[in-house]
Structure 1
Amino acid sequence: MRVITLLVFLVPFLMGLGVDLYVPSLPALVSYYHSTTGTVQLSISLYMLGYGVGQMILGTLSDHYGRRKILVASSLCYGLISFISSFSPNIYMLNLCRLIQGLSVGGMAVVGRAMVVDCYKGKELAKATNYFGLSWSLGPILGPFAGGYFQAYFSWKADFYFFGIYGLFIFILALLKLPETNQQLVELNLKQTFRNIWEIVKDPMFIGMTVIGGFGYASVVIFNTMGPFLIQSVLGYSSVFYGYIALVLGVSYFFGSIGNRASVGRYSIMSILLFGLLSGSLFSLVMIMLELAVGVNLLSIIIPVLLLVFVCGFIVPNTLARSMELFSHLAGTASSVFGSLSGVIVSLVTAGASDLKVNSQLPMSLLYFALMLSSVVLYFNTRKKVSTLVLK
């Protein structure tokens, strides 16, 4: 059980670290590969696409082949491709490696969540789930801070050396010490699997919550995509300075999650979610107004984003919780579908963000506002659809 507890910490920490350790090096990669900002930013979009697709495929396979085999294979692939990434001859090869990295970490993520359900019940399950979430939240806090120093004193390659060592450590630990936790292996029945997935995705509440959750997660990742260029290239600060800013933003999300945890039980999930969405819309509107009033300014960027990231701590967990409530009898499949679809949504949003100019905060502000306002509209539209179905 000790090795499982250790893996329940190690795997989600890597999930949170996979983007954030790397983002302080984005401007340096533009120079290193003589590439464009958009092409370098695409490395984040492809990573998130792989992360989403990997959960769906490898989560299903872990029900049939077992958690241990999928974790061993995923961690080995992640470790090896991380080292290969550091030798990429061009940005296109690096982007391909990032896609494979995302697929691998998606396998580790879905298996990590499944192992928690396999091994813990009742109050112990609740504790392990909180432990899993706490470990994930440390990635966005510590990742950019460490990544800024890696870039300043070594180079962007140090990020991938770290990823490689980390992945191979999980591989060795799982290979030598991890027992199989799935004691109820199921036959691989693609017809039944697709039938279950269709039952889930045709539910309007599930899809509504998944899209809103994807937009909320994307709102956190957008700053990772555009922020390094705004802070370093436009305003002229160092990668270390950016790391400190990202550290503060990570702490803000962490406290948002704590505030959400304190609110659950006192208020309904949907009420807390609406609070987060309306607050996010307001803060993104303030960011637009600040840009129009004072132009590009460090404080006019950081303060609204700080508040936005804080309320995302109320949005993302509650969309997941509401979705899982709907399909407790298909929790594993529902979790895979939610993770996959939200990962693809984040990938598409960040791909769109990579096409925007990063010469001011206005494009980022408008994107934030569009995501939050769309989420508010989708929230009320989803509730209306569900009410209509109930009346019928």
Structure 2
Amino acid sequence: MLITFFALFPLMLALPFGMDIFVPAVPSITQQFHSTDAMMQMTLNLFMLTTGVIQLWIGPFSDAKGRVLPALVCAFGFTVGCLVCAYSQSISTLILGRIIQAMGAGGLLMLGNAIARDLYSGDELAKVYSGLNGVVAFSPLLAPFIGAYLDVYFGWQSTFLILLLIPALVITVYFPILGETLPHARRINITGHILNRYSDIIRNKTFLLYTLSGCFGMSYFYIFCTISPVIILKLLHLPELVYGYYFAFMGASFMLGSILCAAVVSRLGIYKTCLLGFMISFTGGLWALIWHCLYGLSINNFVYPMLLMGIGGVFNMGAGGAGAMTPFGHLSGSAAALSQSMRFLFAGFIGLIIAHFIQSVLPLAVPAIVFSLFGLFFFIYEKKHLIVKLTSKDHSFIVH
């Protein structure tokens, strides 16, 4: 299992590092290209939207062609995207590079999860997933420090060039250690039925509401990520080299929320954990709103409320992701891909909306309040569709 985790590490690393290491350099790139904050937000928002779309395709493609070929294609795409970004001379070229980069990063993330499902099941799969998810939580704690240092001392281009280590690791670590994990006998031909399958899944009310919970949770982290360089570096004029310290509050909330969620869901169940997540996020959003109204913008009223919004968001992501799978057996892989894709698409769409309004903590506080209230309302109103129990005997989900 340790060898598997080591081999899959670079596949899981591409997406979070591709997002987080670049963020501290956003203000300097904006200045160099004589661009606007809203236009620079496109480099982040289109990255998320592309990631959401590519995951709907790469899953079925890898089920038909195996894991090695898609991994090779995605690693190549990520490499091309990094190079286009690093040598771009305009904001439009940078955006194009980010889209290509996201196609590779999103595909590698999905393949990492799929390969783990090829090799393990039950408790062993849960352990592997826990370790792989730790990679995602690890990124916001480290990547911004690296990105800020590289931008200050070597220029923003270096934040993309260093990412070339990831596809190199995919080639030198993943391929030799694991290779192909999906034998021909288990492959499924790609047909037009895929769209019908996704359509059937999304019409399921249990899936839709629990996925909405996950969408709300992910949006808090993404909003914090996108507005943090503007608030911390441009509006508050804090040194870029300390940016990583404040960005780490997001990573800390993710890690703490993951630990607490695992303990809470085993006691309260999936449904009540989501309700608790909404209440925690609402408290964090309200805290940020009141603090802003009383004292205006400050670093403290940006990062400290994020701890609560982040913990609540993880509750909604973790329990919501589990709840979304409950109505499905053999379609759980497709349901997982669709649910995860919808999270990225929702976050990217929210990013497009707030791109022109980054002047305070309100683009983070208001969505946390509104989404939490919507979540509480729909979950209470549709309670009969959402009561889910995790049985300790077989670790399966049952909808009552």
* Whole-Å separation in 1 of the counterparts to 2:375 and 2:100: 30
Q: Deviation of residue 385 (structure 1)?
A: 5.9
Contact 1:13 / 1:137 at 8 angstroms: preserved in 2? no
Aligned residue number for residue 311 of structure 1: 312
Asked whether 1:273 is paired with 2:268, we answer no
Which is worse superposed, 259-268 or 43-52?
A: 259-268
Q: Deviation of residue 262 (structure 1)?
A: 1.6
Which is worse superposed, 42-51 or 152-161?
A: 152-161
Paired residue type of 1:191: G
Any idea what SS the aligned residue of 2:267 has?
Answer: coil
Contact 2:11 / 2:111 at 8 angstroms: preserved in 1? no
Paired residue type of 1:195: N
Structure 2 length as normaliser, TM-score? 0.91
CA offset digits 1:210-238 (Å, max 9, x no partner): 12211210110101111111111111101
Aligned residue number for residue 113 of structure 1: 113
Aligned residue number for residue 82 of structure 1: 82
Aligned residue number for residue 192 of structure 2: 191
* Total equivalences in the alignment: 388
Contact 1:19 / 1:44 at 8 angstroms: preserved in 2? yes
Which is worse superposed, 63-72 or 141-150?
A: 141-150
Aligned residue number for residue 296 of structure 1: 297
Aligned residue number for residue 224 of structure 2: 223
* Whole-Å separation in 1 of the counterparts to 2:7 and 2:54: 19
* Whole-Å separation in 1 of the counterparts to 2:15 and 2:205: 28
CA offset digits 1:335-369 (Å, max 9, x no partner): 1111111111111011112121x232234322332
Aligned residue number for residue 95 of structure 2: 95
Aligned residue number for residue 261 of structure 1: 262
Q: Deviation of residue 78 (structure 1)?
A: 0.5
Aligned residue number for residue 207 of structure 1: 208
* Whole-Å separation in 1 of the counterparts to 2:302 and 2:171: 40
Give runs of aligned pairs for residues 137-148 of structure 1, distance below 5 A. 137-148=137-148
Paired residue type of 1:288: L
Q: Deviation of residue 199 (structure 1)?
A: 2.0
Aligned residue number for residue 157 of structure 1: 157
Aligned residue number for residue 56 of structure 2: 56
Any idea what SS the aligned residue of 2:330 has?
Answer: helix
Contact 2:60 / 2:190 at 8 angstroms: preserved in 1? no
Aligned residue number for residue 14 of structure 1: 14
The verdict on how the C-alpha distance between 1:113 and 1:149 changes in structure 2, with shifts beyond 3 A counting, is: same
* Whole-Å separation in 2 of the counterparts to 1:108 and 1:237: 34
The verdict on how the C-alpha distance between 1:169 and 1:195 changes in structure 2, with shifts beyond 3 A counting, is: same
CA offset digits 1:93-137 (Å, max 9, x no partner): 111111121111121111111111110133322211111111221
Paired residue type of 2:94: L
* Whole-Å separation in 1 of the counterparts to 2:305 and 2:386: 33
Any idea what SS the aligned residue of 1:180 has?
Answer: coil
Give runs of aligned pairs for residues 372-383 of structure 1, distance below 5 A. 372-383=372-383
Contact 2:15 / 2:105 at 8 angstroms: preserved in 1? yes
* Whole-Å separation in 2 of the counterparts to 1:282 and 1:307: 7
Contact 2:14 / 2:108 at 8 angstroms: preserved in 1? no
* Whole-Å separation in 2 of the counterparts to 1:373 and 1:239: 35
Aligned residue number for residue 125 of structure 2: 125
Which is worse superposed, 201-210 or 141-150?
A: 141-150
Aligned residue number for residue 66 of structure 1: 66
* Whole-Å separation in 2 of the counterparts to 1:81 and 1:15: 12
Greater RCO, 1 or 2 (C-alpha within 8 Å, sep 6+): 1
Contact 1:50 / 1:101 at 8 angstroms: preserved in 2? no
Paired residue type of 1:199: D
* Whole-Å separation in 2 of the counterparts to 1:15 and 1:214: 17
Which is worse superposed, 188-197 or 198-207?
A: 188-197
The verdict on how the C-alpha distance between 1:377 and 1:148 changes in structure 2, with shifts beyond 3 A counting, is: farther
Paired residue type of 2:151: Q
Contact 2:66 / 2:180 at 8 angstroms: preserved in 1? yes
* Whole-Å separation in 1 of the counterparts to 2:142 and 2:378: 33
* Whole-Å separation in 1 of the counterparts to 2:362 and 2:33: 27
The verdict on how the C-alpha distance between 1:376 and 1:151 changes in structure 2, with shifts beyond 3 A counting, is: farther
Q: Deviation of residue 69 (structure 1)?
A: 0.9
Asked whether 1:179 is paired with 2:190, we answer no
Contact 2:223 / 2:363 at 8 angstroms: preserved in 1? no
CA offset digits 1:214-270 (Å, max 9, x no partner): 121011010111111111111110112111111232122101110111223211111
Structure 1 length as normaliser, TM-score? 0.93
Which is worse superposed, 270-279 or 195-204?
A: 195-204
Aligned residue number for residue 288 of structure 2: 287
* Whole-Å separation in 1 of the counterparts to 2:386 and 2:96: 41
Paired residue type of 2:305: P
Q: Deviation of residue 172 (structure 1)?
A: 4.0
Paired residue type of 1:65: K
Aligned residue number for residue 365 of structure 2: 365
* Whole-Å separation in 2 of the counterparts to 1:248 and 1:287: 15
* Whole-Å separation in 2 of the counterparts to 1:151 and 1:377: 45
Contact 2:213 / 2:274 at 8 angstroms: preserved in 1? no
The verdict on how the C-alpha distance between 1:250 and 1:189 changes in structure 2, with shifts beyond 3 A counting, is: closer
The verdict on how the C-alpha distance between 1:321 and 1:78 changes in structure 2, with shifts beyond 3 A counting, is: same
Aligned residue number for residue 245 of structure 1: 246
The percent identity for this pair of structures is 26
* Whole-Å separation in 1 of the counterparts to 2:377 and 2:148: 38
Paired residue type of 1:16: P
The verdict on how the C-alpha distance between 1:378 and 1:33 changes in structure 2, with shifts beyond 3 A counting, is: farther
Paired residue type of 1:155: G
Contact 1:15 / 1:139 at 8 angstroms: preserved in 2? no
For structure 1, list consecutive stretches of 5 or more residues without a partner in the other structure: none
Q: Deviation of residue 276 (structure 1)?
A: 0.9
The verdict on how the C-alpha distance between 1:166 and 1:88 changes in structure 2, with shifts beyond 3 A counting, is: same
The verdict on how the C-alpha distance between 1:210 and 1:275 changes in structure 2, with shifts beyond 3 A counting, is: same
Any idea what SS the aligned residue of 1:264 has?
Answer: helix
